[in-house]
A and B are shown apart, each in its own frame.
Chain A
Amino acid sequence: MLPKAEFVHWWFATGFLIIGLLLLAEALVGGEVWRRRAWRAYLWPSFLFLMGVLMWPVMVFYTNSTIHMVAHGSWAQVMMLAGGAELGLVRGKLKSSYWRLTMPLAFLVSGTALLIHEQNGWLYSRSAFVHHACGWTLIVGAIFPLGKTLAPRFAPFRAGHALTFLVIAFVLYAARDAAPIFGHFSAGGVPHR
């Protein structure tokens, strides 16, 4: 009855694609134009927070080991924290811009969790490759939200932040539970699609 794990990866890829495009548009027009309509300023933080919330059912229903539970749980928490902090800043409840450091923290925690919970090497399977690629993209990509917090007007940091989400979306769309390329693990038989 439960959707396969690869479907969940694609749904989250869509969420990251939405956030990436919103951040890209914000980077292009600048914060002043972006915040001219209140609803727009709430958009991507709300999506990020919602994705954190939706990660909890993933933790509950897709826990096949303790390390999976810890990884999914930590993603849920850091996504909610980063999204919530940004919502607080937009709303004016939070004042210090250093709350934005929750985003690089989320990148680092998520990237580390991805790498730790993947027990196999890069080329073991498509799934292993996706987890390694996402993990290192997030760890290296943490430089962008960190830089954006310290130098908010520096365009390459804003663009890099958006592009990191888009790369994650792209890689997650490639996730398959069992795939014959990039490794030797395969469910066998004719692929479903």
Chain B
Amino acid sequence: MESHFATEAVAQLRRRSLRAAAVNLIGPLTMLGGVAWAFLQPYRLTVLHPHGQGFWWLLSEPPLYVVLVGLGFALFLAPSLLEDLEEVEDAPEG
């Protein structure tokens, strides 16, 4: 009986760890995508060669946008989401 509960608890922990890890990875993976894009197409970052660029060209830096979105997710959303995920799953059932 006890081993059954232990197995269930381990399975639940593993499931939660996977979900938590996935949520944790969203921000860094998004940032990594932006950085990889910047390396693959550096000419899309006009800040690297700003001379003679107009305002809109300097404002439009798509790889940086992707990095910033990932950073925002990792800093402002993921921590509270993980906290809540942990609370809900630690709460006794019923």
Chain A residues at the B interface, C-beta cutoff of 8 Å: 3-4, 7, 10-11, 13-14, 17-18, 21-22, 24-25, 28-29, 32-34, 36-37, 40, 43, 173, 192-193
Q: Are the CB atoms of B84 and A21 closer together than 8 Å?
A: no
Report Cα–Cα, A37/B77, bound state, in Å. Answer: 11
CB distance from B57 to the nearest CB of A (A): 7
Report Cα–Cα, A192/B49, bound state, in Å. Answer: 12
The main secondary structure of chain B at its interface with chain A is: helix
| Residue among B22, B62, B65, B84 making CB contact with A37, cutoff 8 Å | B84
Q: Are the CB atoms of B84 and A36 closer together than 8 Å?
A: yes
Report Cα–Cα, A192/B81, bound state, in Å. Answer: 42
- Known contacts A10-B60, A21-B30, A37-B84; is-contact A29 B23 (Cβ 8 Å): yes
- Known contacts A25-B26, A29-B81, A40-B77; is-contact A3 B60 (Cβ 8 Å): yes
Report Cα–Cα, A25/B82, bound state, in Å. Answer: 10
Q: Are the CB atoms of B81 and A33 closer together than 8 Å?
A: yes
The main secondary structure of chain A at its interface with chain B is: helix
Q: In B1-37, which residues have CB < 8 Å from any A CB?
A: 19, 22-23, 26, 30
Instruction: Provide a sorted-by-A list of 18 A–B residue pairs whose CB atoms are within 8 angstroms.
Output: A3-B59, A10-B65, A13-B62, A14-B65, A14-B66, A14-B69, A17-B65, A17-B66, A24-B26, A25-B73, A25-B78, A29-B84, A32-B88, A33-B81, A40-B80, A173-B66, A193-B43, A193-B46
Number of interchain pairs (Cβ within 8 Å) = 64
Report Cα–Cα, A33/B82, bound state, in Å. Answer: 9
Find chain A residues with CB under 8 A from B69 CB: 14, 17-18, 21
Q: Are the CB atoms of A7 and B56 closer together than 8 Å?
A: yes
| Residue among B22, B65, B85 making CB contact with A33, cutoff 8 Å | B85
